[in-house]
């Protein structure tokens, strides 16, 4: 049985933190896993910036409510889900994902959680588990599933390498250059063709 694991931000929806940076005018929040590969360091910096600027969870959620999936993402996902099981593996947080998951037809999502205090300020985050994307792929493979993983950044590479098949979607040149053997796609139609035909393994 075939399963597709997709990253969320950069693949199906815009980078949430960049949208928050734009709406709040706080440029420091533009950093993503594309810039800082250490996720813990990145999240600590984000939480510190939010605290310093008195931005709470509700402020961020109201920004996220104005974000739409990337053009063509919903149609891509609907078509894919008609013939493949699909799970979204994301480093985002349940508190962030709601409105976007609604717009995408409520696909299965495994992600992390934010810890928020009584004043609505984000204090820390709780990982589902360390290296959760890769470990989800390992677990799915242990269940006898043939897994294809697709992502756009550094935090997707371990799940892509752990999968039976993998590809980059709209990845920056830097990552594509470092991993020249991975198929790389820009348009949903070509990614869909790859996923439905199950192109050769990256191994």
| Pairing label, strands 165-169, 184-185 | parallel
Q: According to DSSP H, which parts of 84-156 are helical?
A: 94-103, 132-142
Tell me the closest approach of the beta carbon of residue 7 to Mg ion, in angstroms.
4
Q: Considering the complex, what minimum distance in angstroms separates the CB of residue 52 from Mg ion?
A: 25
Q: Which among 174, 170, 164 has a CA at the least distance from the CA of 195?
A: 164
**92 contributes a contact to Mg ion by CB under 5 A:** no
Instruction: Give min distance, CB of 121 to Mg ion, in A.
Output: 26
Instruction: Note whether 91 binds Mg ion by CB under 5 A.
Output: no
Q: Is 190 a catalytic residue?
A: no
Total binding residues toward Mg ion, as defined by CB under 5 A: 5
Q: Mask of contacts with Mg ion, 150-179, x by CB under 5 A? A: --xx--------------------------
Task: Take residue 104 and report the two structure tokens written for it.
Answer: 């995408």
Of 5, 31, 8, 6, which is closest to residue 18 (Cα–Cα)? 31
Q: Which stretch binds Mg ion (CB under 5 A): 4-12, 34-42, 60-68, 195-203?
A: 4-12
7 counts as catalytic:
yes
Question: By C-beta, is 19 or 153 nearer to Mg ion?
Answer: 153
Angstrom distance (rounded) from CA 169 to CA 39: 20
Pick from 7, 55, 149, 168: which binds Mg ion (CB under 5 A)? 7
String of b and e for 136-168 (b: at least 16 CB within 10 Å)? bbeebeeeebebbbbbbbbbbbbbbebbbbbbb
Q: Are 31 and 176 in contact (CB under 8 A)?
A: no
Which residue blocks in the chain are alpha helix, DSSP H? 16-24, 39-52, 57-64, 73-83, 94-103, 132-142, 157-162, 173-178, 188-197
Out of 7, 15, 91, 152, pick the active-site residue: 7
Contact between 10 and Mg ion by CB under 5 A: the answer reads yes
Q: Which region among 10-18, 79-87, 113-121, 157-165 touches Mg ion (by CB under 5 A)?
A: 10-18
Q: Please, what is the minimum distance in Å from the beta carbon of residue 2 to Mg ion?
A: 22
Stretch that binds Mg ion, among 126-134, 137-145, 146-154, 168-176 (CB under 5 A): 146-154
Give the rounded distance of the alpha carbon of 187 from its chain centre. 17
Q: Contact residues for Mg ion (CB under 5 A)?
A: 7, 9-10, 152-153
Active site residues per annotation: 7, 9
């Amino acid at each position: 049985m075939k399963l597709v694991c997709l990253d969320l931000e950069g693949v199906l929806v815009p980078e949430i933190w960049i949208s928050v940076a734009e709406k709040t005018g706080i440029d420091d929040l533009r950093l993503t896993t594309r810039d800082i590969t250490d996720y813990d360091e990145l999240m600590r910096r984000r939480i510190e910036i939010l605290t310093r600027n008195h931005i709470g969870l509700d402020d961020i959620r109201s920004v996220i409510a104005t974000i739409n999936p990337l053009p063509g993402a919903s149609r891509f996902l609907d078509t894919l889900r008609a013939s493949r099981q699909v799970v979204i593996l994301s480093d985002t947080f349940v508190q962030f994902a709601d409105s976007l998951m609604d717009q995408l037809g409520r696909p299965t999502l495994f992600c992390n959680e934010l810890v928020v205090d009584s004043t609505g300020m984000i204090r820390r985050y709780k990982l589902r588990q360390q290296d959760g994307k890769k470990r989800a792929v390992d677990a799915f493979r242990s269940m006898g599933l043939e897994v294809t993983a697709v992502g756009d950044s550094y935090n997707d590479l371990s799940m892509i390498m752990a999968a039976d098949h993998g590809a980059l979607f709209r990845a920056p040149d830097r990552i594509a250059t470092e991993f020249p053997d991975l198929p790389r796609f820009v348009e949903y139609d070509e990614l869909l063709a790859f996923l439905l035909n199950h192109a050769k393994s990256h191994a």
